[in-house]
Structure formats: C-alpha cells, structure tokens
Structure 1
Amino acid sequence: MTGHGLGRSFAFLWSSTALSNLADGVLKTGAPLLAVSMTRSPTLVSLVGAAATLPWLLLALPAGAIADRADRRRIMATAGAVRAVALAVAAVLAASGALDLWVLLAAVLAAGVAEVFADTSAQSVLPMTVPASQITRANGRVFSAQQIGNEFAGAPVAGLLVGLLPAAVFGAPALLYAAAAALLLGMRGTYHPARNTTQADGRSVSGPLLQEIREALRYLLAHRVLRSLAITAGLLNLANSAYFAVFVLWAVGDGSAIGLPPEGYGLMMTALAAGAVLGSLLAERIARAFGEFRALTACWLASSVLLLAPVVAPSPWALYPTAVLWGVLGGAANVLVISTRQRLIPPELLGRVNSAYRLIGMGGMPLGAALGGVVAEFAGLPAVLLGSIGVCLLGVGLVRHALRDRISRPLTSDAALPDITRSL
C-alpha cells in the first residue's frame, strides 16, 4: 500500500527504511537505559549520546563523497550488515555477562558510523527510485516511517527489552538491520550515480576525495537557494536545541511554569511525533496547493511563532495541541526541504552536497543545547525561550528575503521544475 503509485523499488526502500528506523528507535532508547544500569555518572552516561552523534561531525563529508562514487544501494546494504554484525557481537557479550560500558559505547559508535553512510546514501538514492514529480510524496512516506519507528514503536519496545533481556537491546536491532539490508536486494536497477568525465569548463570531475568534498562545499556556498536554506536550517536547529534543552524545566515538576508530571511530558512528545507523521503525509498536498518554497517558509515561520505559546500560556491544555502543531509543521517542513534539495542538486553531486548541507544545518545542535543550559543558568529560562524564538524569526526572515523571488507559484507538474532549478 505504501508503494502504491511509487513503484516496486520504492516499496522495498520504504520497507527497509521502516525496519532500520525501528532498530534505531530501540537502540536510541535502550542504550542509555543500559548505561544508567551500569553507572550513575552523568558524564559517562552522556558518552552514549556523544558516541551516537560524533560520527556525523567526523564522517558526513566523506560519506557524501563516497555516495557519489559508488552504488548507493550497495552502500546502504553494507552499512546495514555492519550494524547487524556489530550489535550481534554486543548481544553475545551481553548474554555471556561480559557487557560493560565500554563495550556498549563501542557498539553504539560502530552503529553510528554505519548510520552516517546509510542515511547519506538513502537521501541520495530516493531520487533515483521515483519520478521527480513524486519526490515530495515519497519523502513524506519515508519520513512518516522514520517517525513511527524512532518515536512510537522503538522506545516502548526498548523499555520492555531492558527489563526482560538486556542482550535483546542489541540482538533485536541486529536482526532488524540484517532484514533491512536484505530487503534492499529487491530494488531493481542500478544505483550508481552517473559521472561525467568532464565538467562544462573542461575540468575532470574525478579526483582525490578531498578535492571532491571541496567541490561540494564550493557548490553549496555558491548556490543562493541551497546556501540560504542551509544557513536558516542551522539557525533554526541551534535555536530549537537551546529551547528544548531547557524546556523540560519549564514544563515538568511542581515548581515549573506548566506543572506537568513526567508522564505528561512523555505524552507531549507522543503528540509531537503524531503531528510529525501527519505533517509528513500532508507535505505533498501543501506543496501543490501553495508552492514548495512558500509552504516551506510558512511552516518555518508558523512553528517559530508557536514556540511562544507555552511561554505566554503555560498550561497543559494549551501545550498538547501546540505540540501537535509543532509536529505537523516540522514534519511538513522536513519533507519539503529534503525534496527541494533533491531536486536542486545535480545527481552526481547529491551525496556530497547533501552531506555539506546537513553539516551546516545540524552542526549547531550540540552548541545550541550547551548554550541553552549556560544562558538559563545565568539569565533564567524565559531568556533562553524568548531568545531562541528571536533567533528562529531571524533565520526565517533571512531565507524569506533571499528567496522572495521564488516564493510564488505552486509546483504542479514536472514542467515547473526547470524554473525552480535555475539557481546559480
């Protein structure tokens, strides 16, 4: 049903994505829970999250360059197999009583390294799987599968496994990653990016890896639309990371502004995830009704303004519907911005430029979280919340100014694509 109208290859890609993201959800929740059972040191426990995210900072650009050199489906399948083997070894060690924090960190780090290559190639292979006019729809299906696996299903499954059989926190994801890799074999065709031997100016496109990475960075920085989107995404992610790093203190506890119990905060996150699934599925209709750029900037603007709601109306009755709207707008915006990148970036550069974009767009997240805590410590929670909203509005204002000539007409057919892609 999910692949209806999108083809057999997309159905296999979507099914593989669903299984691998369920595995991601189990590992993302289960690994910190296992770490807490081994140590009460906040520093040591935080190393689990660092091990999961560090590979993105170190390997995003090389992974993108490799995705532009090799068969992207094969990269994804190999990454899935690597994750399956690494976690299977950890499961065996856990079952034999040899699991400690350092084995846990090694397993999470290995899975994180493979994830960088898998996710980079996945975003690059999708445009090779469906027609250009179906990219937004396909991304909506993929994003909804990611949300369901990571947020809805993975967390409760991990909680159950930690209590019943800790070794299964690694064993279950290992089986899911292996199955996800096997499903990719059902995709027909070749997924090796086309490589021209020379560029328009006669220069060769083949060369050392660092040269190809520099080429991608130059392309991104010279591309007005992609550069504007990347800078805005970086500002939004930095600000939202700062906002939500301390929002739990604003929302949870007797002395908080909202007064939620811990389970109420979990319900808010569930509401946000439900909204994100809905928004991802509605993204295609929104884009066709209003145009991709107009819809994207409107979603970013509305979600930024909605961050003000819990500050001016600190009530659970206002928070839950606001969380749903955050999810709808964020889910739609993610689908739209990914689809836009996939249309604008030439196929032979897609892996590298996508990686450079994500490095800029996501690089501010750890900085934002740390900055939010420091500012809250010295200036109070309202300063962080209101300051984050201000940064978000600044980012949206910058992109609306940069793209004012493109926020115009709906994207209704492939015929509209050439007009959108004239951007250098």
Structure 2
Amino acid sequence: MGRSFGFLWSSTALSNLADGVLKVGAPLLAVSMTRSPTLVSLVGAAATAPWLLFALHAGAIADRADRRRIMVLANAARTAILALAGLLALLGLLDLWLLLAAVLVAGVAEVFADTSAQAILPMTVPDDHLTRANGRVSSAQMIGNDFVGAPLAGLLVVALPAALFGAPAILYGAAGLLLLGMRGTYRLNPDAGERRPLRRDIGEALRYLWSHRVLRSLAVTAGMLNLANAAYFAVFVLWVVGDGSQIGLEPGGYGLMMTAFAAGAVLGSLLSGRAAGIFGEARTLVGSWLISSLLLLVPVVVPSPWTLYPTAVLWGVVGAAANVLVISTRQRLIPAELLGRVNSAYRLVGMAGMPLGAALGGVVAEFAGLGAVLVGATGVCLVGVGLVWRALSDRISRPLTSAPALSDISGSR
C-alpha cells in the first residue's frame, strides 16, 4: 500500500477519533442541559438524520467532483462549526438548540466525508489489496470511536465542556491537512454530469443498485439486519442491566461488554481478509452474518454474565468481518464512475431501518415483553441471511467478483 493510502488511513484515524468524542460527548452534555428523554434523543437523531436526507446527493457529488477535495472541505466545515460551538460553551452561551445545530451540521459534513472516503479508497490501492485496506480502515474506525473516543469524551465533559468541541475541531482540522499529502487528482471524469440534473445521476444509481442481483440482495439483507439489530439493542440494556433484569449487570459491566465488543470488532476487521482467503468471500460473508444472528439467542437462552462477555467478543469479530467484506465487494462490483452514487444508495437502504427498528423495539417490548423483541429480531436476521444465501448460492465456492461477474449476477431476477 502506497503513500496516498497512508495519508488517507491517518486522516481516517483522526477523524474517527473526533467522531467518537462527539458521538458520546454530545448526549452527555445534553443531559446536563435537560432531563427530558425526548430532547436528549434529538441529539442522536441530529447525528444520524443527515444520512437519510443527504446520502444520495453526497454520492452523486462524489462521482462528479474531486473526492479528496470534498473530504477536505467537509473536515474544514466540521472544524469551523465545532470551534464556534466550543467558543460559545466557553463563554457560557451554548444551549441545547445550539448544541443540536452544531451536531446536525457536523452530521451533514460527515455524510459527504464518509461517502467520498469509501469511494476514494479503491483509487489508492490495487484491487487485490482492497479487503486488507478496508480491514485497516475499519480497525482504525473502531479504535477511534470506541476504545479512545468514548472514554475521552467522558473525561472532557467532566473537566471542560468546551473541550468537547475544541478537541474534535482540532482533530478534524488535522485530518483535512493530512489529505493534502495525497498526490494526484481524485476526480474520475472532469466533465461528468456538468450539465445534467443531480436527480438524474441519483436515479441512475438507484436503477443500477436494484438491477444488480448481488448488490440488491446484500442491500436488502443489510437493511433487515440493521432494522432487527436496532430493535434488539434498543431494549437489550433492560434485559442486561439492573436488579430486575435477566442478567443483573451493573452499568459498569455493560460498558465492559461494549469494550469486549469493540475488541472483537478490531480483531474481526484485521482477520477478515485471511478468513476470506481460507473459506472464500461469499462463504465467509454469509457465515459471519449467520453466526452473528444465532449469537443473538445466547443471552436469551443462557442469561449469564459468563456467556455475555464472550458472546459480545464474537459479535464484534463476525460483525466487523462481514462489514469489511461487504464494503470490499461493493468497491469491486460497482464501476468506478458510479461508486459514490451506488455506494450511498446502498447505505441508504441499509441504514434506513435503524431508526424505525429502534422505535419498533420499544413499542413491541411495551406490549409483548423484552423476550419477544429479542427472539423476533433473531428471526428477522435469519430470514435476511436466507435471502442473501439464496442470491449467492452459486458463488459460495469462488470469489464474489470472479468472472463473469457482472453478466451473471446482474438482471432483475
């Protein structure tokens, strides 16, 4: 892997460390401003809603413009808005609505930065190094978001709330500067789409995704898994934490479980390429999703801390491995000139179910109980795995992108 990937990876590591601080710190700061669950939940919504609103547009722009420049501008925007929020906090002028506005703007910038980052990575490494490169990026994301960013946010909220914005602002600024070290241009077609409406480019991406059998199946399955997992983990804390829960952990024990999950995810990210080389890409991907789905039953059938922690590690291993393989597969299957748009369309389908799943999990738990949510979510995951198994059954013993990839697996079957 060359110089450009090194700068890209370093920039990704810093920006994800900033993401981790902001993701955990903003809700903690909101709790100090209000005790309303609805208002506090708006902070999380402000961070994720931009994906539903701007993902398709970000993908279309990534296919028209220089992807590195988009990332630099997005990091500059995040630096500016968070520096302003930090100054307001330092002066005692920051309130909940200004906090929401800062998180929302930073979230919009994240959509453009992350969409371009996934589209630019194949331009920095050879095709046969994609899985390894994505594994390194995924491990950096996990370390930044969970291992370092989350505990750092807790310290900053207590020590100096203004630093909760100042630290990410500095990190985003440094991430943008590192991208300037990447040589060359990262715009595919200088004249692409100059006189076409943006909605035409978006429509082309949606049609391509829907007509491609493998990509369509992966997107639908990812959407089902994300919806089910969002429902599961929205109420899982009630199953695990407290005297009246099934497992009876203290809050600190739940945090330790999340650390175990993160450790497994880092390991899974680094080992995904090796596993795919041994078992095959399709077999590893489907097997990882199947194991991850079945593991959801373990805390239900055996509600014990002694089984919960190793289960969390395995959740992280197989979940991260599947994520790396899915990203690498998309980057290989989607033509370079469509990569930003189709990638963002895929992520929209895959992520759209998350807020719905979280809300659905709470409603079902109120009327049918926690166990019904946990078992029902497992069932939805298994149905999704069955769908993708059927779509990939003829490719289990060979690479997902082996010839004749596009001619065999495209079409509206």
* Bin for the TM-score computed over the shorter chain: over 0.9
Show the counterpart of 2:226: 237
Show the counterpart of 1:272: 261
The 1-side partners of 2:273 and 2:404 are apart by: 19
Give the number of equivalent residue pairs.
409
TM superposition shift of 1:408: 1.4
1:321 alignment partner AA: P
Q: Are residue 34 (structure 1) and residue 23 (structure 2) matched?
A: no
User: Residue 322 of structure 2: which of 333, 340, 363 is its match?
Assistant: 333
Structure-2 change in CA distance of 1:390 and 1:404 (3 Å): same
* 1:279-331 Cα deviation digits (max 9, x unpaired): 00001101111211111001000110111111100000001000000000001
The 1-side partners of 2:188 and 2:263 are apart by: 35
Q: Are residue 160 (structure 1) and residue 155 (structure 2) matched?
A: yes
1:47 alignment partner AA: L
Alignment of 1:38-187 (within 5 A): 38-187=33-182
TM superposition shift of 1:407: 1.2
Alignment of 1:306-325 (within 5 A): 306-325=295-314
User: Residue 379 of structure 2: which of 370, 375, 390 is its match?
Assistant: 390
Note if contact 1:236-1:392 (Cα within 8 Å) is conserved in structure 2: yes
**Deviating 4+ runs (over 3 angstroms):** 194-197, 416-422
Unaligned runs of 5+ in 1: 1-5, 198-203
* Residue aligned with 1:85, SS: helix
Identity of paired residues, percent? 76
Show the counterpart of 1:192: 187
The 1-side partners of 2:195 and 2:294 are apart by: 46
RMSD across aligned positions (CA): 1.3
TM superposition shift of 1:190: 1.3
TM superposition shift of 1:37: 0.6
The 1-side partners of 2:277 and 2:404 are apart by: 15
1:359 alignment partner AA: L
Note if contact 1:194-1:347 (Cα within 8 Å) is conserved in structure 2: no
The 1-side partners of 2:406 and 2:246 are apart by: 47
User: Residue 368 of structure 2: which of 379, 386, 394 is its match?
Assistant: 379
Q: TM-score, normalised by structure 1?
A: 0.94
2:249 alignment partner AA: L
Q: TM-score, normalised by structure 2?
A: 0.97
The 1-side partners of 2:82 and 2:233 are apart by: 30
TM superposition shift of 1:103: 1.1
TM superposition shift of 1:155: 1.0
Show the counterpart of 2:338: 349
TM superposition shift of 1:417: 4.1
The 2-side partners of 1:192 and 1:418 are apart by: 27
TM superposition shift of 1:194: 3.5
The 2-side partners of 1:161 and 1:99 are apart by: 16
TM superposition shift of 1:409: 2.2
* Residue aligned with 2:128, SS: helix
Note if contact 1:86-1:107 (Cα within 8 Å) is conserved in structure 2: yes
TM superposition shift of 1:360: 0.4
Q: Are residue 288 (structure 1) and residue 274 (structure 2) matched?
A: no
User: Residue 299 of structure 1: which of 276, 288, 293 is its match?
Assistant: 288
Note if contact 1:290-1:410 (Cα within 8 Å) is conserved in structure 2: no
